[in-house]
Amino acid sequence: SSQATSSSDGFLQCLSASIPSQLVFTQSSPSFTPLLKSSIKNPKFFTPSIVRPLYIVTPTNASHVQAAVLCGRRNGMRIRVRSGGHDYEGLSYRSERPEVFAVLDLSNLRAVRVDRQTSTAWVDSGATLGELYYAVGKASNLLGFPAGLCPTVGVGGHFSGGGFGMLLRKYGLAIDNVVDAVLVDAKGRLLNKNTMGSDVFWAIRGGGGESFGVVLSWQVKLVPVPATVTVFNVPVSASQGAVDVVTRWQQVAPSLPDDLFIRVLVQQQTATFQSLFLGTCDALLPVMSSRFPELRFNRTSCKEMTWIQSVPYIYLGSGSTVEDLLNRTTAASVFSSGYKATSDYVRQAIPRGVWANIFSKLAQPNAGLMILDPYGGARIGGVPESATPFPHRAGVLYNIQYMNFWSMAGGDGAVQTKWIRDFYAFMAPYVSSNPREAYFNYRDLDLGENVVVGNVSSYQAGMVWGHKYFKDNYRRLAMAKSQIDPDDYFRNEQSIPPLANSN
Ligand code: FDA
C-alpha cells in the first residue's frame, strides 16, 4: 500500500516474533475487509473516503496485546482498540483525520466466567453484553447485571464509558458494579486494580475508551433480581394525549420506586412507554394507578417473565429468545442504516408548550426520534458526581438521546444530520447548561475534537468536549492520563489529554 512506511514494516516484523501470523491482517489480505466490516454498526463509516487501519490484529491472549502495544510504540504505529465496534463515531476502527494506525480487534477475547458463590463474574472486553447476560442467566435466574439494552454492544467500549439500561434506577451503571479490571498500559505492562493505582482504576470506569490503555477484562458484582419481572410497552399517540402524558412522565419517572423503570421512545406522533418492573404484575398495578394514572395502564399490558427473558424481549421483540443474545450480529434492523446521534441531560422538567413544539418538529419530513431514560433513585441520583468519571447523577431527571437514520442507498444523510443539529440547537434552552452535559457513550464529534500540539493532545482544547461528558472530573481524568500514558500514545479525536501535576 502507498501508506506503508518503513515503520509499518518494522511493526509487522516486530509482531511476527510474538503473534502468530494468522492473527495479523494487512490491507492486501482477502480477510481484511470482511474483518474490518464485521462489527461496524454505522455503515456511513464504511465508505471509500473513510480513513482505514493499515493492519488489524486479533489477539487471542494477553501477551499478544502486550506485544502489539510494544511493537506499536517502537515503530510509531498507533493502535485503536475495538471491542464491539458500536462507537457512534466509528473511532474504534477509523480516523477522522489522515493517520497511520492499526486496529486491535478484541473479538476473540470474550470469555465470561460467573462465580455463583460470590455473585461475581470476570468478563473479557471482547464479549458482547448479550454474552454476559446469557452467562449470568444460565448461572442463576435470581442474578442480573445492569448495563445497556442492545445485546451486540461490546463490553470493552460500553464499560469504558459508563453503560446503562433498564436496571439503572435500581443498580446504577455498569461501572458502578465493576470491582477489578486487567489493563495493558502504554508500556505493555499487564496491570490489575492494585498495580494500576487508584486514580487509573477510577479513570477506566467511565472516563472513556482508548485513553488509558487496553482493558482486557473486568470483574463485576452481579445484582439480585426477582424470579418474576414485569415488562410493558404502552404506546400513546398525540391524539390520545401524548403531549400531556410525556409532560407528566418527567415528574413521575425519576421519583418512582427504584424497582420501576419507565423510559419513553418518542417517534413521529407516538410516545411509547417501555418499562421493566422488578416484581409481579399484581405488585405493579397499584403503583401505576397511584403514581401514574395518566398512562391508563392496565393488566392487559403486563407481561411477566424472568429477568433474562426480559432482555431479548425488550430489545429484540416478542418473537426473540434467550439464545438470540449469543448472536453477535443481531441488532435492531435500523442499525443497518447510517445514523447520527447526540444526547442531552434534563434537570428541570420541560414545559408542556415546548413538548407540543417538539411533537410538531418530530412530524417534519426526515425527522429523527428521541429516547428518554429516567434517572433518580438511590444508586444513580444518590451517588456523588466524583465517585466515578460519569458525573450525570444527582438532580438529573432524565437523559435524552436523539437519533436520525437514513438508508445508505438513498443518500449521504446530510438532511437527517442537519435535522439533528437543528433540533439540538432548538433544545438548548430546555436542557442542562454550563456545561451542556452529554453522555460519553453516545459519542458526538460535533461537541469538539482534540487538538494535537507538539505530538500531545491539548488539555486546554479538550475542555470543550471534556466538560460536557465529565464536568469537573475532566481534570482528574487528565491527571490519571499523565500517570499512565504521559506521551499520549493511546489517543483519538476525543481521548483524555495528559495533564502533568505542575500544569
Ligand atoms: P467500540 O469497540 O466501537 O469502542 C468504543 C470506544 O471504546 C472506542 O474509542 C474504542 O477505541 C474504545 N475501546 C473499545 N474497547 C476498549 C478496550 N477494551 N479498552 C480500551 N478502550 C476500548 N449505551 C448505553 O449506555 N446503553 C444502551 O442501551 C446502549 N445501546 C446501544 C445500542 C446500539 C445499537 C449502539 C450502536 C450503541 C448503544 N449504546 C448504548 C452505546 C454504547 O455503549 C457505546 O457505543 C459503546 O462505547 C460501545 O462499545 P463497543 O465496545 O461496542 O464499541
Residue range 258-301, pLDDT digits in tens: 999 999 999 999 999 999 999 999 999 999 999 999 999 999 99
pLDDT band at 335 (very low <50, low <70, confident <90, very high): low
DSSP-assigned beta bridge partners for residue 405 = 339
Q: What is the pLDDT of residue 332?
A: 54
Burial class (CB in 10 A: 0-12, 13-18, 19+), 30: exposed
Residue 87 alpha carbon, nearest atom of ligand 1: 3
Closest CA to 80 of 216, 182, 217, 210: 210
438: pLDDT strictly greater than 80: yes
Q: What is the pLDDT of residue 266?
A: 98
Residue range 112-132, pLDDT digits in tens: 999 999 999 999 999 999 999
Q: What is the pLDDT of residue 1?
A: 38
Classify residue 350 by its DSSP letter.
Answer: P
**In 10 A of CB 98, how many CB atoms?**
7
Residue range 19-65, pLDDT digits in tens: 999 999 999 999 999 999 999 989 999 999 999 999 999 999 999 99
Q: Whose CA is nearest to atom 37 of ligand 1?
A: 86
What is the predicted ipTM? Answer: 1.00
Residue range 310-327, pLDDT digits in tens: 999 999 999 999 999 999
Residue 90 alpha carbon, nearest atom of ligand 1: 3
Which of 78, 81, 167, 380 most suits a substitution to test ligand 1, by most atoms within 8 Å of the C-beta? 81
Taking the centre of ligand 1 as the mean of its atom positions, its distance from the CA of residue 91, in whole angstroms, is: 10
Q: Which residues line ligand 1 (CB under 6 A)?
A: 41, 80-88, 91-92, 106, 125, 148-150, 153-154, 156-158, 160-161, 163-165, 209-210, 214-215, 331, 335, 441, 492
Q: What is the pLDDT of residue 501?
A: 61
pLDDT band at 2 (very low <50, low <70, confident <90, very high): very low
Q: Whose CA is nearest to atom 33 of ligand 1?
A: 150
Q: Which residues contact 376 (CB under 8 A, 6 or more apart)?
A: 169, 253, 254, 255, 256, 396, 397
Taking the centre of ligand 1 as the mean of its atom positions, its distance from the CA of residue 267, in whole angstroms, is: 24
4: pLDDT strictly greater than 60: no
Give me the amino acid identity at 276: L
Q: Whose CA is nearest to atom 10 of ligand 1?
A: 92
Residue range 236-261, pLDDT digits in tens: 999 999 999 999 999 999 999 999 99
Give me the amino acid identity at 144: G
6: pLDDT strictly greater than 90: no
Q: What is the pLDDT of residue 500?
A: 77
pLDDT band at 136 (very low <50, low <70, confident <90, very high): very high
Average model confidence (pLDDT) across the chain: 96
Let me know the angle formed at the C-alpha of 327 by 172 and 121, rounded to the nearest 5 degrees.
Answer: 40
CB 455 within 8 A of CB 410: no
The residue to which cell 465508505 is assigned: 47
Which of 42, 79, 86, 164 most suits a substitution to test ligand 1, by most atoms within 8 Å of the C-beta? 86
**In 10 A of CB 387, how many CB atoms?**
16
Distance CA(481)–CA(400), nearest Å, equals: 29
Mean pLDDT score, 451-455: 95
Cis peptide before 435 (omega within 30 of 0): yes
Taking the centre of ligand 1 as the mean of its atom positions, its distance from the CA of residue 269, in whole angstroms, is: 30
Taking the centre of ligand 1 as the mean of its atom positions, its distance from the CA of residue 129, in whole angstroms, is: 10
Helical segments of 44-143, H only: 62-74, 129-139
Taking the centre of ligand 1 as the mean of its atom positions, its distance from the CA of residue 496, in whole angstroms, is: 16
8: pLDDT strictly greater than 60: yes
What are the contacts of 425-434 at 24+ separation with CB within 8 A? 426/357, 426/361, 427/344, 427/400, 430/346, 430/348, 430/350, 430/351, 430/354, 431/344, 431/345, 431/346, 431/347, 431/400, 432/344, 432/345, 432/346, 432/347, 432/396
Q: Which residues contact 275 (CB under 8 A, 6 or more apart)?
A: 230, 231, 232, 233, 234, 260, 261, 262, 263
Q: Whose CA is nearest to atom 29 of ligand 1?
A: 148
Q: What is the pLDDT of residue 50?
A: 94
Taking the centre of ligand 1 as the mean of its atom positions, its distance from the CA of residue 88, in whole angstroms, is: 8
For the record, the C-alpha cell of 46 comes out as: 464504511
83: pLDDT strictly greater than 70: yes
Spell out a b/e string for 324-340, using b for 16 or more CB atoms within 10 Å of the CB, else e: bbebbebbeeebebbbb
pLDDT band at 3 (very low <50, low <70, confident <90, very high): very low
Q: Whose CA is nearest to atom 36 of ligand 1?
A: 86
Q: What is the pLDDT of residue 503?
A: 45
Instruction: Write out the DSSP string of 251-272.
Output: HHGGGS-TTEEEEEEEETTEEE
